[in-house]
Amino acid sequence: MVSHRRPSQPGLGLGARGSAIAVSAAAATAAAALGAAPAGADPQQTPEATRAKVDLLFEQAEKATELYNKAGEQVGRLRGLVDQAQDSAARGQERVNKMRGALGSLAGAQYRSGGIDPALALLLSSDPDSYLDKASVLDRVGARQSGTLRELQQAQRRLGQVRMEAAHDLTELERSRAAVSRHKRTVERKLAEARRLLDSLPSADRDSYDRASRSDRGEGSMLLGGAPASARAAAAVRAAQNAVGRPYVWGANGPSGFDCSGLTQWSYAQAGVGLPRTSQAQRYAGRQVPLSAARPGDLVAYRDDASHIGMYVGNGQVIHAPYPGASVRYDPVGMMPVSSVTRV
């Protein structure tokens, strides 16, 4: 998480299978948008202005982290598709080989008995598909041979399609891997810049930055929340509570460290519930409810683009992984503008 004092700009969205091109486009857009941030502190700059730059850098780093998480999720999905397509291609090739072998045996038997049927000779050529395009020779084969030929043609066509899909998925996989690397470099650069700026502040100002990050904007400060909405929500709250004190680690989803969406994903996984990896996807992982109706276990998304997320735990508080250098902790639910509350 980053500053709890700034509204944010809308973020970038990503698609499903074959959307690695969109991932790459998002990477380029994000790089352009994030590249204008300051590289260091101006000696004449006030501590408040320096903290504002740190806010911006942390916010940009968190958005890039969510893009990194999305690209990583895409890599995993595409890797599974590639493995599946390659396995299907191998099984299809084995079936084609068996069919051609069976027909070859038939041709051999015919040859030994006095000559090979011209239809079978054509079948066993390098281009058996052309056989079925020449209806004039269909009367040379029996119904059984004709059916086998058609099955072979269909199997070869399916095999070709599977191989094309595998090649496409491999290309998309490489693009997604490149997007992961780009987002990683963006995050690392922004975090390094933010750390340099924070280190340039006197210790009292660094302490005040952390205190300011816990400030409540007043939104939801009177909430109590009652009991969790379900047994799984209660289990997720217990898991989040057990994670308090563990470090923020960007791109991590536990158990030793977390980024914001990694914490909520891990907490619900301990309750046997699978959540998407990114905060933008998690906001739609259940039924949205008003903030005034929030109950422990609900997911609270922040900023218009839902680039940060935490778990409501009652008494007007959330547990969340804030930003690098801070640990998983309790903070007021109104620490930033709330964009949605989701009941899983």
Q: Catalytic residue at 168?
A: no
Q: Which residue in 4, 168, 183, 308 is the catalytic one?
A: 308
Active site residue 260: yes
Counting beta carbons within 10 angstroms of the beta carbon of residue 171, is it exposed (0 to 12), middle (13 to 18) or buried (19 or more)? middle
Say whether the peptide bond before residue 276 is cis (omega within 30 degrees of 0).
Answer: no
Rounded-to-integer distance, Cα 11 and Cα 18, Å: 20
Residue with tokens 């397509």: 85
Tokens 């300011």 — which residue?
Answer: 212
Nearest CA to 233 out of 207, 188, 268, 260 is that of 268
Cα angle for residues 291, 297, 301 (degrees, 5° grid) = 50
| Residue of 4, 168, 183, 260 marked catalytic | 260
Our answer to whether residue 4 is catalytic in this structure is: no
Which is catalytic among the residues 4, 168, 183, 320?
320
Number of Cα atoms under 13 Å in the Cβ half of residue 51:
20
Residue type, 321: A
Which one-letter amino acid corresponds to residue 39? A
> Rounded CA gap, 56 and 8, in Å?
9
- At position 114, the amino acid (one-letter code) is G
Active site residues per annotation: 260, 308, 320
